[in-house]
Amino acid sequence: MRFSEKVALVTGAGSGIGQATSVRLADEGAIVVGSDINSAGLEKTAGLIGEGAVFHPVVSDVRSREACRELVSSAVADHGRLDVLCNIAGVARGHRVGDVDQETWDLIFGVNVDGVFWMSQAALPHLELSEGCIVNMASNAGLMGQAYTVPYCASKGAVVQMTKAMAMETMKTGVRVNAIAPGGVETNLATSFGFPSEPDMELMGRYMGMRGMSQAEDIASAVAYLASDEGRRIHGAVLSIDAGLTAG
């Protein structure tokens, strides 16, 4: 029960890593406020929460600064504090550079970058009071170039640098800011990714990996570690969980 009496806010809680993280933190004693734009997904997450654990679903869109501020404010008003923010909501699309339209670019950056920043901005004053932490979800795509995923790579690279910059700005506080960079994970995001027709497999081969894909629970366990007191000396780190994909 590493999170007993602590309040955690998890975005993207309706599926994948966000869902697994919500279940993990709730099962370890946290009061979890889980947000997503998908109400049906949040209902499914609520059904996975163990007996006696606490999960409060909230439908919200992290692309909106005002929605992020309202989400954080309501969580603090309802539960008196905020200890953990997990910025997990994310979207991914595969396109050739010339086929990326404005709507796709804005969607990817709106969720993957704007959402992380607006949530963190709203949460930081409360996390300073509790000496809490932020765990951002980056990607191996933020650490290496990948064909057909330029907007996604750019967005996750932004998350990596945002994590490090926030870690520097909060260095004299008790807040910790870290990120996880998974490789392939068996989630809806991965299965619905979609590559353009007739991709060049030679270009893609170097980031396919040799050890298969992770499960969402593998990543959730790392989120829980970074967010717990066991990770108290980890600040400004980007933890790769990619089965060696970015090792060389």
Burial class (CB in 10 A: 0-12, 13-18, 19+), 181: buried
Instruction: Using the CB atoms, write b or e for 204-213: b if 16+ within 10 Å.
Output: eeebebeeee
Strand order in the sheet with 238-241: 54-59, 31-36, 7-11, 84-87, 133-137, 176-182, 238-241
Q: Residues near 204 by Cβ (< 8 Å), separated by ≥ 6?
A: 146, 147, 148, 195
Give me 122's structure tokens: 């709203």
| Alpha-carbon gap, residue 150 to 124, rounded angstroms | 30
Q: Catalytic annotation on 152?
A: yes
Active-site residues: which are they? 152
